[in-house]
Amino acid sequence: MNSDILGMTRSYAVYLPPGYDSDQRDYPVLYLLHGYSDNHTGWVQFGEVQRIADAAIASGKATPMIIIMPDGDTEKIGYFNRPGGDWNYEDHFFQELMPHVEGEYRIKKDKRFRAIAGLSMGGGGTFTYALRHPELFGSACPLSAWAGGMTTEEVAARYAREGETYSDEEILRHYNENNFVEMVKNGDKEKMSSVRWYIDCGDDDFLFTENSRVHIELRKAGVPHEYRVRDGAHNWTYWRESLPEVLEFITKGFHQF
């Protein structure tokens, strides 16, 4: 698809459930975000999304759904708007990608039937998107989520490594707007609680502390959520084991009345 906001053509992968071509009904949707150094093919090639989703649907643990896997790895990396305003991926996601795919495919457009999940950098995108737009997502499932820097110094250093420098004011604003620990601290409890949260991180994952901090802040805020810690590290073995649980969790949200 063409993106006027980013000034380039963007790609995405799509999983269509068995029977999609033989009926005319609308389906719930999962936006599934990849991690750093991957692209829209990551969940297809390494996450085995088709095999796992087909099996979950066949077993009855997951309802038939459409899965959209966008590309967050072209030119500049990440799912967020850049501090200087020269790369507004989040704007692209909500203003271009979502309207495009939800018009292209038979997707139910109610909040209840829309979920988001992702691993590592995509977990950070999941947290940020669902916290910033709780009216759009019924469920959110961050896996081994990456915060992109737990301090303003870390955020500035990350962009400096990519050859970009910003003022202290720009970095602070970007930090407050995109660090999901701060977003929970400053968020609206009722709105955050309208999202069904499933957070998952391995006990040997280098991002375990960051994810635990979010869990603690959500508990302080009184926001209901599931926090799962399993044996495992930051790798595809762990995430392939996570995906069936994610599909089952969001299915329960799709079926709530």
- Work out the mean pLDDT of the chain and round it to a whole number: 92
> What is the b/e burial string over 113-129, where b = at least 16 CB atoms within 10 angstroms of the residue's CB?
bbbbbbbbbbbbbbbbb
pLDDT confidence of residue 96: 98
Nearest to 4 by CA among 91, 98, 81, 73: 91
The SS3 assignment for 247 reads helix
User: In this predicted model, what pLDDT tens digit does every residue of 58-98 receive, in sequence order?
Assistant: 999 999 999 999 998 866 777 888 887 778 999 999 999 99
Residues counted in the chain: 257
Q: Answer whether 230's CB lies under 8 Å from 204's CB.
A: no
Q: Answer whether 124's CB lies under 8 Å from 145's CB.
A: yes
pLDDT confidence of residue 149: 59
DSSP 150: S
Residue 245 one-letter amino acid: E
Sketch out the chain's domains with CATH numbers. 2-254 (3.40.50.1820)
pLDDT confidence of residue 257: 44
Question: Is residue 56 scored above 80 in pLDDT?
Answer: yes
pLDDT confidence of residue 11: 93
